[in-house]
A and B are shown apart, each in its own frame.
Chain A
Amino acid sequence: MGAGHAHRLYRHGHSPVHALPPHTKLAATFAFVVVVVSTPREAMWAFGLYAVLLASVAYAAGVPAGFLLKRLLIEVPFVAFAVLMPFVAEGERIEVLGLSLSVNGLWGAWNVLAKGTLGVAASVLLASTTELRELLLGLQRLKLPPLLVQIASFMIRYGDVITDEMRRMRIARESRGFEARGVKHWGVLAKSAGALFIRSYERGERVHLAMVSRGYAGSMPVIDEVTASRAQWSYAFALPFAALVVCVLGWTL
């Protein structure tokens, strides 16, 4: 969650992955993550294979490794939690480098780290190869309630505007020598939040009036209907199917 980098999430390109219809990509990503999560944690090699699969998708999409790795930093807080696990978990203990660690805790930490990282990487790949608007259309194609899609699209559309307003208020505070140092400054922050709420709410009312005056009656017209051919579906599902094979091998071996 950085400030206003929504437009930097997408990485423009003309690869076959970029060209896929958004709902096939969404479904494929979700299926992939489900398969990864249901893999037994003892099959360590399976997670390596998953990483190879994702890396090949990234290669096909022309997403450089550095970009992907930088975006993976989002999960650092969970890593900190996972690192704690071997120390606090129950069960039998083993000595590693003079530290007494729980075996179950080590497995648990590995489980969360591996699955969490693969899930984050899959989401990052999805977001960097699909435009925001396409992503929302894809969600609609996947039968998410249209009202929810509309709310999400308004949130995305105005997210940057509202965040920028927040940023301007922060700059205004800081240029007057304000720095949030302790509890006594909470009031200033809260007043900023209050002002921001009034501004966003009033903007919402204005947006609604503008829409009504242009004939809005509660639902948005769908202009560009995206459909996916069988070939596109099978191309998108190559990733989760390959992952499924690995998962089945992981359970049987």
Chain B
Amino acid sequence: MHVPDGFINAPVSAATGVVAAGAVALSLRGARRELDERTAPLAGLVAAFIFAVQMLNFPVAAGTSGHLLGGALAAILVGPFTGVLCVSVVLLMQGILFADGGLTALGVNITDMAIVTTVVAYAVFRGLVKILPRTRRSVTVASFAAALLSVPAAALAFTFLYAVGGTTDVAIGKVATAMIGVHVLIGLGEAAITALTVGAVIAVRPDLVYGARGLQQKLKLRVNGELVDAPDAQTVPVAARSHRKVWITGLAASLVLAGFVSFYASANPDGLEKVAADKGIDQRTKEHANSDSPLADYGVRDIEDARLSGGLAGVIGVGVTVVAGSAVFWTVRRRRTDDTSPTSTSV
């Protein structure tokens, strides 16, 4: 799904570049908290891991094979901020060194493959882990679902970007069907491999899996024949968790929304005009020429297309809102739970 140069037009590329830069800046702050001063070496090694894992081809059907995107895997194993950071660095290096994905399309690629996959996967993962019983098995199940949804979500985001700023006018319905159809299949493979990988890591080093940190049992000490909770080895710094983080997250989310929605709003009349010019006038004259024939084809197809595109926009809008909302909610929630019961994670 690496987008080459010239595939998405300049304004949308610039806008996604701004979005990507903002998200990377936010992740840099977040990753420092997830990994403290170990950020550079650990995130670098994890980025190298994702780079290597993307070469792991798995057979999908007879003759074809897909490869992992790794966004969901990164988010679950090392946390969402570090995940975004690692996948972004991988994409940056692929763009500059391997010419894999265009330099001007870097913003599009990071938004699509680093941010959307990681954020969607982590939101789904968190939600499921909250609902399911607190066992290792449910972490595996949640990672399956998270990876399964993250890949079509990226395809959907790509379709959205294409609808707003694509340089060719392939019908949006066709692009959506093709992209999502293919990526549901790839998502199945990604989901299975991600879930099995997370399961394999949990079996050996459960403390390394960021998404399973809540599962750790409190350390108990037997004092005079009675079990008592051991004192926490390290306490989470409270000062670092302020309201400011929530505000920044909210602001970034609303900025992203506003940017995209305004672009969509500004691009839509253009698209409609274009369709009217391309299609409507030509076809109406044709229809007039043989008006007695039941030419419901075009009408139905037009309505279908309009509905499909409208529905698609709605779905994407709702999806983005839900993800943004749950991200804010989750941030607030995590802050609260951390304040009440600081979990000790000794890595």
Contacts and interface: CB of A to CB of B under 8 A. Distances in A.
B196 A186 contact: yes
Interface stretch (A29-37, A51-59, A222-230, A235-243): A29-37
A204 B45 contact: yes
Nearest to A75: B4
A190 interface: yes
A133 interface: no
A161 B48 contact: yes
A193 B197 contact: yes
Nearest to B45: A204
Nearest to B209: A197
Contact of A192 (B32, B47, B56, B78): B56
Nearest to A204: B45
Interface range on chain B (Cβ under 8 Å from partner): 35 or more
A123 B100 CA distance: 9
Contacts of A191: 196-197, 200
B169 A207 contact: no
Interface string B32-44: 1000011111111
A162 B49 contact: yes
Nearest to A79: B4
Contacts of B192: 183, 186, 190
A54 B47 CA distance: 32
Contacts of A192: 56
Contact of A123 (B51, B95, B194): B95
Interface in B76-114: 77-78, 85-86, 89-90, 92-100, 102-104
Given A74-B99, A154-B40, A186 B53 contact: no
B167 A211 contact: no
Contacts of A198: 201, 204-205, 208
Contacts of A147: 28, 32, 39-40
Contact of A194 (B46, B171, B197): B197
Given A75-B4, A115-B4, A163 B51 contact: yes
Interface range on chain A (Cβ under 8 Å from partner): 35 or more
Contact of A151 (B7, B37, B44): B44
B238 interface: no
A12 to B, nearest CB: 16
A123 B6 CA distance: 14
A33 B58 contact: no
Q: Which of B52, B55, B94, B102 has the most CB of A within 10 A?
A: B52
Interface in B17-73: 24-25, 28, 32, 37-49, 51-59, 68, 73
Contacts of A1: 54-55, 94, 98, 100
A193 B192 CA distance: 12
Contacts of B85: 148, 151
A153 interface: yes
A118 interface: yes
Given A9-B98, A89-B169, A154-B40, A159 B59 contact: no
Q: Which 5 A-B pairs have the closest CB atoms?
A: A154-B44, A115-B6, A108-B168, A194-B200, A190-B196
Interface of B: 4-7, 10, 13, 24-25, 28, 32, 37-49, 51-59, 68, 73, 77-78, 85-86, 89-90, 92-100, 102-104, 167-171, 174, 189, 192-201, 204-205, 208, 278-279, 282, 347
Given A33-B5, A108-B170, A208-B42, 18 more contacts: A1-B100, A37-B6, A37-B102, A90-B279, A104-B168, A104-B278, A112-B167, A112-B168, A119-B102, A123-B99, A132-B97, A151-B43, A151-B86, A155-B89, A156-B93, A183-B59, A194-B201, A197-B197
Interface of A: 1, 3, 6, 9, 26, 29-30, 33-34, 36-38, 41, 71, 74-75, 78, 85, 88-92, 104-105, 107-109, 111-112, 114-116, 118-124, 126-127, 132, 135, 145, 147-148, 150-159, 161-163, 165-166, 180-183, 185-187, 189-198, 200-201, 203-205, 207-208, 211, 217-218, 220
